[in-house]
Structure 1
Amino acid sequence: MSSRLSEVFFSFAGQECRGISPLYCSLAEAVAADEALLQIAGQAPAGQPVPNLLFAAVQYLLVADPTHPLAEYYATCTAEPKDPTQAFPAFKDFVLSHQREIIELLQTRLVQTNEVRRCAFLLPAFQFALRHYEPRPVALLEIGCSAGLNLLWDRYRYDYDESGDVYGFYGDLSSPVLITAEFCADRPAVLSDPMPTVSERIGVDLNVIDTSLPAEADWLRALIWPEHHWRRCLMDAAIKRRSEFDLDLRNGNGFAQVEEIATEVPLDSLLCIYHTHVANQISQAERESFLKTLNQLGQQRDLVHIFNNLHDALLRLQIYRDGQQSEIPLANTDGHGDWIEWLA
């Protein structure tokens, strides 16, 4: 167990954190070589991204009581954090002294980051998909919705060159939530298409997060890496925006329940099923069963399927129209939504 988990932490440091989170990069490399901490991290349930879960559990507890010396290394606890490469001794002491609480969080919480900035690539993805159909109301079904913040992708304002020029904004121009991102090349023309009418907003997650509860909102914030202050600010703005809408959020396995939920959506609405950075957490058998169900549904009604991490990291679109199915690679995207390489 510890050898395999050690490789997971080394990979996390090199592939996900280097150049993005100096603190987590340094800590992940050190944890990978520490048997005691690997044993604690190994208490996480199968299928969960263990480094993300461990670091979120630590940050969740630390922010709630920032009196431990470890707080001096976290940008969430101090305006001038110390050298991240020197943080591990304090980190290990914190984990060992809070072992019971951390294991409880590992076993009861999930990595379900509601990365609002991913809406920056959902907007053009949906607009591109809707060009393949006659105008009609759309019913959104997000699998792995977390707190449901990305069910409101059409209710945010977007700036793709960070110019601040109002004429360069897209989406809901009256929205107080502004999402910035960058296209690696030209922006797709679909960004200027009118917003659709959304008839339903349904989200399914193994553990829906109720952001009206402070402890739940704090867990979402703990999943954001310490140096990424702008991500926390955006999430807080989206949480406030979300309070203005009545979303249909349900606990359950959306991949297994998609057929049941689809029966609730009227045929005159275009069913739009989407999930981002979730499918890598389910088995191959579950993926195959899900895709088989979609194919069966696509014989009965028109629907859209937008996803990544099912076959590969690309954002992809499956179109089911008049009983015919086609698939289009849409974009290569940054996991946090910072940049988009549009391919469609």
Structure 2
Amino acid sequence: MTIAEHYRRFAELEAHGVSGIYEDWALGVAGDPVVQALVGGLPPAKRQPNLVFAAARSHGAPLGSYGNVRPWLLANWQRVDPVIRTRSTQTNEAGRCAVLLPQLAAVEGPVALLEVGASAGLCLYPDRYGYTYQGADGTVRLNPPQAADVLLECELRGGATAPARLPEVVWRAGIDLNPLDVADPVSLRWLQTLIWPEHEARRRRLHAAAAVVAADPPLLVAGDLNKELEKLARQAPPEATLVVFHSAVLAYLTPPERQQFVDRVGALDCIWLSNEGRQVLPEITARIPHRTPHRTKPQDGAFVLARNGVPVGLTGPHGQYTQSLS
């Protein structure tokens, strides 16, 4: 896929209807050979629109039309380039807990959570957040015993049902190439920059969730997920059900690395929850029933939520909605 195709696809599948600014910027880059040449000078893994745009914003790129940001980008590329090369897209969206929660709540007894691609670990606290599920039958609210400073809202679609309870999480750990500490202002500022420009509610949620994590930090291990998975899994308490999960992570692995991970997680005594774009694990996407809207609306940007390799739902990339496949 060329840089132009990649940025156009991002505009149409991910940014459209979600961020007008990023949609405009991505379409602008898709039609701009000069900026494409700058992006092409980066390592292939560093050319993602999310990363390039966040790096630019971290140095003060003006929000607004591509026509405004283009001259700034050309004049400041020497400052932006090092940020792209040293940083990564570690978006840590606590809102994704809302689409994972129904699966976690279905696990009986204590749960041990292990997240791969954990970033700062905000998704390791589904039991500490409050939830509002809105569906055709009304609204369901769930709150932890302690007052929740984080409220996650999720729309129920296509017969999806809200969970009846919060899980009993007794252990939480994560793996990331570069775990972020939310108590570090620099790391927190980068997480904030990764949130798309118009999403002010997500920025407020980030800070509220970061406070939860900072008060009770999880075990975060720096390393390659394929090298650290089994070792970290062995540390989970044996009396708990181990749940290995990830959201918007495997796209950053090569196809052989993804298959290696699938093989490794499949060999563990665990429940595996994957929440990824439909192109990331095509063998799972191929199992979606033909009657679902997935087959008729291929450009809705939905993720595929699967349990042990079996698709169970389509979800909003930031946890906005969950749609049942049953």
TM-score normalised by L of structure 2:
0.85
2:316 paired with 1:338: no
Amino acid in the other structure paired with 2:68: A
CA contact (8 A) 2:171 2:237 kept: no
CA contact (8 A) 1:142 1:151 kept: yes
Amino acid in the other structure paired with 2:325: L
- Residue-by-residue CA offset, 1:72-108 (whole Å, 9 max, x unaligned): xx3xxxxxxxxx4xx2232122112221221001100
* Aligned counterparts of 1:223 and 1:120: Cα–Cα separation in 2: 20
Give the equivalent residue in structure 1 for 2:35: 37
* Aligned counterparts of 1:248 and 1:272: Cα–Cα separation in 2: 15
Within a 5 Å distance, the mapping from 1:314-329 to structure 2 comes to: 314-318=304-308, 327-329=309-311
- Residue-by-residue CA offset, 1:16-53 (whole Å, 9 max, x unaligned): 11222111111111111222211222344333461111
Structure 2 residue aligned with 1:205, among 176, 198, 203? 176
Question: Compared with structure 1, are the counterparts of its residues 41 and 23 closer, same or farther at alpha carbon in structure 2 (3 Å cutoff)?
Answer: same
Amino acid in the other structure paired with 2:211: K
Give the equivalent residue in structure 2 for 1:126: 104
Structure 2 residue aligned with 1:175, among 141, 148, 151? 148
Give the equivalent residue in structure 2 for 1:161: 134
CA contact (8 A) 2:315 2:322 kept: yes
CA contact (8 A) 1:123 1:171 kept: no
Within a 5 Å distance, the mapping from 1:11-30 to structure 2 comes to: 11-30=9-28
Amino acid in the other structure paired with 1:183: L
* Aligned counterparts of 1:187 and 1:236: Cα–Cα separation in 2: 29
CA contact (8 A) 1:144 1:206 kept: yes
* Aligned counterparts of 1:296 and 1:168: Cα–Cα separation in 2: 36
Question: Compared with structure 1, are the counterparts of its residues 49 and 304 closer, same or farther at alpha carbon in structure 2 (3 Å cutoff)?
Answer: farther
- Residue-by-residue CA offset, 1:240-265 (whole Å, 9 max, x unaligned): 12111121112111233211212222
Amino acid in the other structure paired with 1:307: S
* Aligned counterparts of 1:187 and 1:6: Cα–Cα separation in 2: 37
Amino acid in the other structure paired with 2:17: G
Structure 2 residue aligned with 1:307, among 274, 279, 286? 274
Give the equivalent residue in structure 2 for 1:324: none
Give the equivalent residue in structure 2 for 1:58: 56
* Aligned counterparts of 2:275 and 2:113: Cα–Cα separation in 1: 17
CA contact (8 A) 1:276 1:308 kept: yes
Amino acid in the other structure paired with 2:311: P
* Greater C-alpha radius of gyration: 1
* Aligned counterparts of 1:248 and 1:228: Cα–Cα separation in 2: 29
Amino acid in the other structure paired with 1:114: N
How many residues align? The count is 301
Question: Compared with structure 1, are the counterparts of its residues 188 and 49 closer, same or farther at alpha carbon in structure 2 (3 Å cutoff)?
Answer: farther
* Aligned counterparts of 1:169 and 1:258: Cα–Cα separation in 2: 34
2:124 paired with 1:151: yes
Give the equivalent residue in structure 2 for 1:274: 245
2:236 paired with 1:265: yes
Amino acid in the other structure paired with 1:331: G
Question: Compared with structure 1, are the counterparts of its residues 121 and 49 closer, same or farther at alpha carbon in structure 2 (3 Å cutoff)?
Answer: farther
Post-superposition shift, 1:332? 0.4
Q: What secondary structure is seen at the aligned counterpart in 2 of 1:98?
A: helix
Most deviating of 179-188 and 107-116: 179-188
Question: Compared with structure 1, are the counterparts of its residues 185 and 89 closer, same or farther at alpha carbon in structure 2 (3 Å cutoff)?
Answer: closer
Give the equivalent residue in structure 2 for 1:322: none
2:268 paired with 1:297: yes
* Aligned counterparts of 1:188 and 1:234: Cα–Cα separation in 2: 24
Q: Tell me, which stretches of 5 or more residues in structure 2 are unaligned?
A: 286-302
- Residue-by-residue CA offset, 1:203-255 (whole Å, 9 max, x unaligned): 11111111212221111111111111111111111111211112111211123
- Residue-by-residue CA offset, 1:156-200 (whole Å, 9 max, x unaligned): 0001129xx9x83114252111111111144525x113x333222
Question: Compared with structure 1, are the counterparts of its residues 113 and 29 closer, same or farther at alpha carbon in structure 2 (3 Å cutoff)?
Answer: same
Give the equivalent residue in structure 2 for 1:287: 258
Question: Compared with structure 1, are the counterparts of its residues 48 and 138 closer, same or farther at alpha carbon in structure 2 (3 Å cutoff)?
Answer: farther
Amino acid in the other structure paired with 1:339: Y
* Aligned counterparts of 1:296 and 1:10: Cα–Cα separation in 2: 38
Give the equivalent residue in structure 2 for 1:10: 8
* Aligned counterparts of 2:182 and 2:222: Cα–Cα separation in 1: 15
Structure 2 residue aligned with 1:46, among 44, 60, 69? 44
Structure 1 residue aligned with 2:212, among 231, 241, 259? 241
2:81 paired with 1:103: yes
2:207 paired with 1:229: no
Q: Tell me, which stretches of 5 or more residues in structure 1 are unaligned?
A: 63-69, 75-83, 319-326
Percent of matched pairs sharing the same residue? 31
* Aligned counterparts of 1:42 and 1:252: Cα–Cα separation in 2: 27
Amino acid in the other structure paired with 1:192: A
